Structure 1
Amino acid sequence: MIQLPHGFQEKMKALLGEEYDSFIESYEKERVQGLRINPLKFSKEPLEGGEEFAFRAPFGLKKIPWTKEGYYYGAEDRPGRHPYHEAGLYYIQEPSAMAVVELLDPQPGEKVLDLCAAPGGKTTHIAGRMMGKGFLLSNEIHPARAKILSQNVERFGIGNAVVSNEDSKSLSLRFPEFFDRIAVDAPCSGEGMFRKDEAARLEWTPGHVEVCRLRQEEILKNAAVMLKPGGRLVYSTCTFSPEENEQVIESFLLSHEDFSIEYDGPRPGLYPGRPEWSRTGMAELEKTFRIWPHKTEGEGHYLAVLKKQDGELSEKKRPMPNYIGGKVNLTAGKREDPLGDFLTGLLTEPEIFLSRKEYVLFGDQLYLMPPEMIDPKGLKILRPGLHMGTAKKNRFEPSHALALFLKKEEALQWIELASGGEEIVKYLTGETLPREAVQSSCLGEKGWVLVTVDGYSTGFAKLAGGILKNHYPKGLRLMGVR
């Protein structure tokens, strides 16, 4: 039996009236589990019933109605312990949270900000919709959570994202009227997560709700500065409190006349916001959305889609980074172009990378920064783009991020391991592999090899003397997989 805070129960009883009993009964039900497919990892193919992702899951899945990439999975399944999870084929995410990016609707080629991004659910969802085109800034104010966010960006094979660790005010000073779309999944009192999060239940007080409201209003105000005229902003929380939901949006609209609620009709599984819970009864709030655990399969969530009115963009000159070019003399050694030599020996079409100029060095770490990114000087940046690898003396050592970014057909040398076989367990736990034990392309006698599981990139190995030396990162190695 879940122990809900007494003050919370009294508040919800007053708000919900005759719905209250059904609402409370929902806490006795098992919560649903969800995962979201990563479009960056595979192509789509037409299947019966329309376009679906060409992904054959090793466990049962049922469609989530409010997003095309989302599925429920069974309580008995353990997708987090399957090799496909390590390969970034999907992200395990609470189903209601998937509605945020569905409403944001980011498009390839746009500039998008995920302002409160950790642990990475919205960021990975946005990146999948952008399909590698455009620029995504993924920000998290808490350093430890920002590191987890950066790890998920890497696992998903995202190449057009920068991960920052800033507050919303600092970003607004550097990116005024910069983004086409912004997601603000605001930190909140977490009432919608009470069924699965004991810490949120223990922390709840009316005073905490008020602290959250003030913080949300500040974040939303700063986000508005960064949105282009005509742009879209989605505000969301995982709480039921009107103070953090309808009343935050009401307050924002009253102080920002250039914004309005954007609404294109009802959505499956999403219910109207409650104007009667605002301070003025603002009718437009019925065009915002709530997800209720007693009405649908998902935890509590609130969402509002805001549009900034069209107008002339006051484009400011922003300093650009000092890129070092595609042919990079990374070392003081004799080899003129270790990066070029490495890429030529690794890829079927190395010119895709060699034609790019947006390379930046952070110490001995080389990154390929999205061309739309401004000069990062003065910003706290954890991941300035796609991590290519490390400059070591006269050679270049590729990163795990580069392996997860690549597709099997892009690599000159690859090995393929079966998701249900012993070799993938050995690889993910750090063991070496004999060359003859694996299916492979026409391998040479030495060099870097892309390791794949059922054709999906998972990491690197290095071939020498008939042995594939394991380069799966030590910090990611597993004790075992099913």
Structure 2
Amino acid sequence: MRSILPQQLNMEDFIAACQRPLRKSLRVNTLKISVADFIERAKDKGWQLEPVPWCKTGFWIEADESVVPLGNTAEHMSGLFYIQEASSMMPVSALFAQNSQFTSVLDMAAAPGSKTTQIAAEMNNHGVLVANEFSASRVKVLHANVERCGVRNAALSNYDGRVFGGWLPEQFDAVLIDAPCSGEGTVRKDADAMKNWSKASVLSISDTQKDLIESAFHALKPGGVMVYSTCTLSIEENQQVCHHLKQVFADQVEFESLTDLFPHADKALTAEGFLHIFPQVYDCEGFFVARIRKLGSVDAPKVKKRLGKFPFEKASAKLQADIQSQLKAALDIDFPQDTSVWLRDKDVWLFPNALEPMLGEFRFSRMGIKIAETHKKGYRWQHQVATTLATGNEATAVVLSVDDAREWFMGRDVRPENVTGSGEVIVKLANDVIGLGKWVGNRIKNGLPRELVRDKNLF
């Protein structure tokens, strides 16, 4: 570390910074609430917020968590914010710098979902966001966070990121590769982060990173932009990986300077225009971010595809109109214009239209949102209809008391006082949509998915 510290920094400050606990930070989920409204909520709660300079929706937070941890607050469980380390907000900010608008984005190493949900918010749920995670167990966590935050334009996959260059060449306007790394930048959060560190493992991981960045480059459209990031500090896993890409693809690779990403970005800027962030510079985790432009087409690796039969069928215009009218009648909800209905057995799904060109080229584990199951009398609407499509102003919405909402998040049915109804109902806490239930007599049957049910110590 001493050998790679920039001249203006010193080892004593680096060690002192690594030994200080991290400041807690969060990112407002603008798919659910505006930053201005969230700031008002924070004031009411007595939370102290300080803006993160490189993310317009990010804040460091001071809050009394002695009674209820931030993760168990109603605001977190309703998807209004994501607890995210401040420096990890930077890659997505770099990807969307210069007010970039993208129709198709690949997040190559997506779990647990902080950057995926940040990208979805930047896209405002339009277009398509392919969120890939190599670890099957972590895909469940990724899906739960996507669901909690009201993301509807995502398609999830479970592959080694090295497959994308051959399977989906030149498909994406933008690619984020937050690469697996040796992770010493996270030592302030995890005291064990350095336990298995070795120079040999750094070199081994950098070989994998070089494969991943090549794959990401092939998956990128000519003219598209890629951000490569890690939570490590070694030059072998950062600058050298980017230079490897330049060596392989020469004039088709352009490094774009991040000097204007935020005030004082120059304190961490490398000669190439990358951000190499040591923990003492901005009092955050160690991090690396590079923004790379693909200037022209390159020949992608050839692969033999055996996909099998695609299990979904696109609904006819007539059937889609029928489903849409039934949803409007039942819950006062409309479909977004850039989506289409797809059917699989008795399940009804809503896919982003921008996903369609990829459906015959790649196998996804989950696409869009499941909106209904068919049964004899019509459609049984699903949780994500409420949390991704409802505004909270629907005629069918019922506001729960805080006590009832707590029961709801623990997976229990509720009996709201002085309210009755029939059929499916949108459930709210204050003005936040928290789920979908169904009237059974004088109680609302709980429709919360199992992975979102919490057991104790709630707001």
Shared fold, TM over 0.5: yes
Query: What is residue 354 of structure 2 aligned with on the other side?
Result: 372
Given that 2:220 and 2:294 are in contact with CA atoms closer than 8 Å, whether structure 1 keeps it comes out as yes
Q: Deviations over 1:44-94 (max 9, x none)?
A: 66xxxxxx8675223222111110010111264322010111111111111
- The structure 1 residue matched to 2:410, chosen from 418, 422, 429, is 429
The one-letter code of the counterpart of 1:263 is: S
Does residue 1:239 correspond to 2:232, yes or no?
Answer: yes
Name the SS of the counterpart of 2:280 in structure 1.
coil
Does residue 1:62 correspond to 2:38, yes or no?
Answer: no
Does residue 1:201 correspond to 2:194, yes or no?
Answer: yes
Given that 1:345 and 1:412 are in contact with CA atoms closer than 8 Å, whether structure 2 keeps it comes out as no
Given that 1:271 and 1:291 are in contact with CA atoms closer than 8 Å, whether structure 2 keeps it comes out as no
1:148-227 matches, within 5 Å, as 148-227=141-220
263-272 or 287-296, which moves further after superposition? 263-272
Change (3 A) 1:307 1:272: farther
Query: What is residue 243 of structure 2 aligned with on the other side?
Result: 250
Query: What is residue 302 of structure 1 aligned with on the other side?
Result: 288
Query: What is residue 280 of structure 1 aligned with on the other side?
Result: none
Does residue 1:133 correspond to 2:121, yes or no?
Answer: no
Change (3 A) 1:274 1:70: closer
Query: What is residue 406 of structure 1 aligned with on the other side?
Result: 389
Mapped to 1, the partners of 2:427 and 2:339 lie a distance apart of 28
TM-score (norm. length: structure 2): 0.86
1:81-480 matches, within 5 Å, as 81-105=72-96, 107-108=100-101, 110-257=103-250, 258-263=252-257, 265-266=259-260, 267-268=262-263, 270-271=265-266, 283=271, 285=272, 287-309=273-295, 322-325=313-316, 327-328=318-319, 339-340=323-324, 342-350=326-334, 352=335, 358-373=340-355, 374-376=357-359, 379-409=362-392, 411-417=394-400, 421-436=402-417, 445-480=421-456
Query: What is residue 10 of structure 2 aligned with on the other side?
Result: 19
Please report how far the alpha carbon of residue 209 of structure 1 lies from its aligned counterpart in structure 2 after TM superposition: 0.6
Please report how far the alpha carbon of residue 198 of structure 1 lies from its aligned counterpart in structure 2 after TM superposition: 4.2
Mapped to 1, the partners of 2:333 and 2:383 lie a distance apart of 19
Q: Deviations over 1:134-175 (max 9, x none)?
A: 111111111111221111111111111111112233322232
Please report how far the alpha carbon of residue 479 of structure 1 lies from its aligned counterpart in structure 2 after TM superposition: 2.1
Please report how far the alpha carbon of residue 272 of structure 1 lies from its aligned counterpart in structure 2 after TM superposition: 5.7
Q: Deviations over 1:2-47 (max 9, x none)?
A: xxxxxxxxxx1233376101100112212111110111113566xx
Change (3 A) 1:198 1:25: closer
Query: What is residue 71 of structure 1 aligned with on the other side?
Result: 59
Mapped to 1, the partners of 2:395 and 2:329 lie a distance apart of 7
What fraction of aligned residue pairs are identical, expressed as a percent? Answer: 31
Change (3 A) 1:62 1:325: farther
The one-letter code of the counterpart of 1:268 is: P
- Size of the aligned set, in residue pairs, is 437
The one-letter code of the counterpart of 2:171 is: F
388-397 or 66-75, which moves further after superposition? 388-397
Change (3 A) 1:14 1:356: closer
265-274 or 462-471, which moves further after superposition? 265-274
Name the SS of the counterpart of 1:154 in structure 2.
helix
Change (3 A) 1:261 1:53: farther
Change (3 A) 1:137 1:66: same
Given that 1:164 and 1:383 are in contact with CA atoms closer than 8 Å, whether structure 2 keeps it comes out as yes
Mapped to 1, the partners of 2:369 and 2:294 lie a distance apart of 31
The one-letter code of the counterpart of 1:397 is: R
Change (3 A) 1:198 1:406: same
Gaps of 5+ in 2: none
Name the SS of the counterpart of 1:415 in structure 2.
strand
Name the SS of the counterpart of 1:177 in structure 2.
coil
Name the SS of the counterpart of 1:42 in structure 2.
coil
Mapped to 2, the partners of 1:422 and 1:232 lie a distance apart of 47
Change (3 A) 1:251 1:475: closer
The one-letter code of the counterpart of 2:396 is: Q
The one-letter code of the counterpart of 1:403 is: A
Change (3 A) 1:199 1:143: farther
Given that 1:228 and 1:313 are in contact with CA atoms closer than 8 Å, whether structure 2 keeps it comes out as no
Mapped to 1, the partners of 2:351 and 2:84 lie a distance apart of 28
Change (3 A) 1:120 1:209: same
Please report how far the alpha carbon of residue 310 of structure 1 lies from its aligned counterpart in structure 2 after TM superposition: 5.4
Structural RMSD (CA): 2.9
The one-letter code of the counterpart of 2:41 is: R
Mapped to 1, the partners of 2:418 and 2:450 lie a distance apart of 23
Mapped to 2, the partners of 1:241 and 1:133 lie a distance apart of 36
Please report how far the alpha carbon of residue 303 of structure 1 lies from its aligned counterpart in structure 2 after TM superposition: 0.4
Please report how far the alpha carbon of residue 107 of structure 1 lies from its aligned counterpart in structure 2 after TM superposition: 4.5
Given that 2:331 and 2:425 are in contact with CA atoms closer than 8 Å, whether structure 1 keeps it comes out as no
Name the SS of the counterpart of 1:41 in structure 2.
coil
Name the SS of the counterpart of 1:39 in structure 2.
coil
Mapped to 2, the partners of 1:74 and 1:356 lie a distance apart of 39
Mapped to 2, the partners of 1:322 and 1:107 lie a distance apart of 33
TM-score (norm. length: structure 1): 0.83
Given that 1:177 and 1:313 are in contact with CA atoms closer than 8 Å, whether structure 2 keeps it comes out as no
The one-letter code of the counterpart of 2:50 is: K
Change (3 A) 1:26 1:216: same
